[in-house]
Structure 1
Amino acid sequence: MRYRRFGKTNLSLSVFSLGTMRYLASPENAHQTIERAVSMGINHIETAKGYGKSEEYLGASWLGGLPVERSQLYITTKIPPMSDPDALEKAIDDSLTRLNLDYLDGLAIHGINTPEHLTEAIAGIVGIDRAIADGRVRHLGFSTHAPVEVILEAINSDRFEFVNLHYYYFFQRHAPAITLASQKDMGIFIISPADKGGRLYTPPAKLTQLCDPFSPLHLNYRFLLSDRRITTLSLGAANPQELDLPLQVADSVESLTESEQSTFMALETALEETLATDTCKQCYECLPCPELINIPEVLRLRNLAIAYNMTEFGKYRYGMFENAGHWFPGRRGDRCTDCGDCLPRCPENLDIPRLLRDTHQRLGGSKGRRLWES
């Protein structure tokens, strides 16, 4: 296991962090997963008020005994934005009680996904300032599923020491946020690179073939770990066994090899050759859409489904539209009214209404919810 400085917090975190959204089968399973993670060198555990009984299970693990001292393990929890400082302070105390802890190494405002969330978070932050002053909280950050513009605004507020965000090989829209956070010496925590990064633990045969001799999951981890600006990646194991495969690359933090770079180039070539003149280049110039369709994300999922046969991932994410609120905003492709508003703004001259309907036919179907609500 390698360790990196978590920005201005100066915490030295393992390059993989244990996320606790999925270990909820039982208190015993949670304890075994935590114990296994710690024994493999993970020193940062991230939980949240909203993750079912995750905090309670982590708190029970202290009572069950772990093979490290408290000072050797960093704990971050997350609470939603609140404009009332007193309510925010109470939420911190409630989390500390559930966790059986006297202090949090990290506290993240969970889900700054809209400008209103950011305003609310800043308004209530004095409650966190009080908790920092008396030692209950050591470092403040935020997690986000927001458009990049909101993320940049939150970073530029200069109120946060770290950020948890989505950024992967197959989704690089947030690259400017990575750059700005690094310039401001913020810790950078990547959310769910295996799952939200493409469900890469169960890749389709075509993607596996294109990535040979590497696995798609290996390549995505290497894409992230080779970037020295990124501190740590979330590993949301449902049980102890799910830690083993990802942590095989926990020491692979060097620059990309020539072979890895060639494989990434082959993936780009396959995308361009397969989609040809229907390739969405993810410029986002088509927004805003009068029908509130998240056109770039809809077409990104189409890109992946056609170029790499990532259809199951596409269905999984497409099903979140209109079902996950601000966590996955935007409407489905079948909401297009052929108004043509987006067409003159597309530098690739894509027939966007046709592509939206095609995506809905390919990926429409089951409705999805956030994992901890399923």
Structure 2
Amino acid sequence: MQQAVSKGINHIETAKGYGQSERYLGAALLAGLPVARSQLHITSKLTPSAAPSEMERGVDESLERLNLDYLDCLALHGINTGEHLDRAIRGISGVQKTLEDGRVRHIGFSTHAPLEVILAAINTHLFEFVNLHYYYFFRRNAAAIELASQNDMGIFIISPADKGGQLYTPSPRLERLCQPFSPLMLNYRFLLSDRRITTLSVGAANPEELDWPLTVADQDGELTPEEKSVLDRLEATQRSVLGSERCSQCYECLPCPEAINIPEVLRLRNLAVAYQMTEFGKYRYRMFENAGHWFPGSKGNRCTDCGDCLPRCPEKLDIPTLLRDTHHRLKGKEGRRLWE
């Protein structure tokens, strides 16, 4: 914390659901940091409840753990389904009470939801910022970025180094394709060059891991011709390597009768085949059936060859075969999320 703040980081995010994170941050704040509290923007996150009193109590409990008398930002954590959004709307008056008396300065939401749920949440006009997934290798939420920007919302990108492709340990092929840049730098630049985006998270495990990302932090100008050329090379490589097996991520194949998240399964296949991002694919693929609404959908081997998706695919992909191939490539070992 001392290293981050001394190097200019001024936004710190925690959450009740992150183990002892709030208590650890509270201890660091109590011990003293090399800047005034007024120079820090501290965000915590609270699981939405339909009971306003429970929401208000959750804010007070976070403040107590953090040794703070106010939060700069509070995100309703994990609005991942329409039901979660409905619950948040019914309970939000409890949080609005904390806005009125200054215990919270700004309210937003974090989400791993399908695009339509994110758009619906933004369109409630109840929130001032959104935490969501959006990276060079995952642009499904582009419409949410645009709508949030139109509504003058803060836009916080979740874990661009890790969820964006485990880009701190890229495959040799991806490293070669991104030369003279690193894959991680290219993803940071893709995001930082987008003036609609407010904040990128840096999940450092030790002080040294802060150094490299902060060398990029001020490089927020437009993409250079050389950077654009590398991004064009990545796109051309994917089209060339995958050929007629490339999923364009149109999402027309959904819904699947077996609840397979076909576009996400095939996105991971795209990355594994085109860029040898196999370890990242395994990391994400094994979350299917193990992470609930945080990463919904069944694995590709659940396909029953019903053919329901086939007429809707504009590329006329042999989706059942590709699903089985993805499962074979990426099934790896089973795993669960940390708090499960």
* 1:251 Cα deviation from its structure 2 partner: 1.2
In structure 2, what residue type is equivalent to 1:344?
P
Residue 250 of structure 1 aligns with an amino acid whose one-letter code is A
| Aligned pair partner of 1:176 in 108, 124, 143 | 143
Query: How far apart are the structure 1 equivalents of 2:50 and 2:10?
Result: 32
Structure 1: how far apart are the matches of 2:317 and 2:209? 41
State the match for 1:6 in structure 2. none
1:148 to 115, 135, 142: 115
Distance 1:76 1:140 in 2: 9
Structure 1 counterpart of 2:74: 107
Match of 2:167 in 1: 200
Question: 2:123 corresponds to which letter in structure 1?
Answer: N
**Shift of residue 126, structure 1, vs aligned partner:** 0.5
Kindly state the Cα deviation for residue 351 of structure 1 after the two structures are TM-superposed: 0.1
1:373 aligns with 2:330: no
Distance 1:368 1:150 in 2: 27
CA-atom RMSD in angstroms: 0.7
- Residue 357 (structure 1) aligned with residue 327 (structure 2): no
Deviation at 1:367, TM superposition (A): 1.9
Query: More relative contact order in 1 or in 2 (CA 8 Å, sep 6+)?
Result: 1
AA at the equivalent of 1:247? L
Tell me which residue corresponds to 1:15: none
Report the secondary structure of 1:138's partner residue. Answer: strand
Number of the residue aligned with 2:275 = 308
Asked whether 1:280 is paired with 2:273, we answer no
Counterpart selection for 2:307 from 337, 340, 357: 340
For residues 28-67 of structure 1, the aligned pairs below 5 Å read 34-67=1-34
SS of the residue corresponding to residue 75 of structure 2 reads: strand
What do the CA deviations read for 1:118-143 (whole angstroms, capped 9, x no partner)?
00001000000111111101100000
Show structure 1 runs of 5+ residues with no match. 1-33
Identity of aligned residues (%): 71
- Matched AA of 1:112: I
Distance 2:63 2:220 in 1: 34
Deviation per residue, 1:102-130 (Å, 9 max, x gap) = 00000000000000000000100000011
Matched, 1:257 2:221: no
Q: Retained in 2: the 8 A contact 1:142–1:164? A: yes
Q: Partner residue of 2:100?
A: 133
Q: Which residue of 2 aligns with 1:330?
A: 297
Give TM-score scaled by structure 2 length: 0.99
Q: Which residue of 2 aligns with 1:120?
A: 87
Q: Which residue among 207, 214, 222 is the counterpart of 1:247?
A: 214
Query: Could you tell me how far 1:191 is from its partner in structure 2?
Result: 0.3
CA contact (8 A) 1:317 1:368 kept: no
Classify the secondary structure of the residue corresponding to 1:163. strand
SS of the residue 2:44 aligns to? strand
CA drift of 1:346 comes to 0.2
Following TM superposition, by how much is the alpha carbon of 1:369 offset from its aligned partner in structure 2, in angstroms?
Answer: 2.5
Q: Which residue of structure 2 lines up, in the alignment, with residue 221 of structure 1?
A: 188
Within the candidate set 159, 175, 179, 2:126 is matched to 159
| C-alpha separation in 2, matches of 1:87 and 1:304 | 42
Query: Which residue of structure 2 lines up, in the alignment, with residue 98 of structure 1?
Result: 65
- Could you report, residue by residue, the CA deviation over 1:52-78 in whole angstroms, capped at 9, with x for unpaired residues? 110001100122110011101110000
Alpha carbons 1:324, 1:368 under 8 Å: kept: no
Question: Which residue identity does 2:85 align to in structure 1?
Answer: L
- Could you say which residue in structure 2 is the equivalent of 1:69? 36
- The 10-residue stretch of structure 1 (148-157 or 242-251) with the greater mean CA deviation from structure 2: 242-251
